[in-house]
Amino acid sequence: MNSKSLLEFKTGTKIKVHCVECGQNFKKRLCEMGLYDGSEVEVLKNDGLGPILLKIFDSKIALGRGEAEKIMGEEI
């Protein structure tokens, strides 16, 4: 498995999340948005500046770069 941080994936990449390395409160918040171990997401925007925009199911969410750094995944 070649997991890397969400910060390392380019716009348009589809990812399977493998690990969320954060505290329980943040992990619960992410889970409520559909972002958890095993979920599949698409990077809609990651231009190296500002938040990362993700598509999860039929929703779009924005994560700060510090938050995105704690989420590990693999391209699918």
Q: How far apart are CA 54 and CA 9, in angstroms?
A: 11
Write down the CATH number for the domain with range 4-75.
Answer: 2.30.30.90
Per-residue pLDDT tens over the stretch 50-70: 999 999 989 999 999 998 998
Q: Is the pTM of this model over 0.95?
A: no
Task: Write phi, then psi, for 12 (nearest 5 degrees).
Answer: 95, -10
The domain ranges of the chain are 4-75
Output the average pLDDT for the chain.
90
In terms of pLDDT, which residue wins out, 15 or 33? 15
The residue with tokens 């999860």 is 56
DSSP state letter for 6: G
User: pLDDT tens across 39-50, in order?
Assistant: 999 999 999 889
Q: Is the pLDDT reported for residue 37 higher than 80?
A: yes
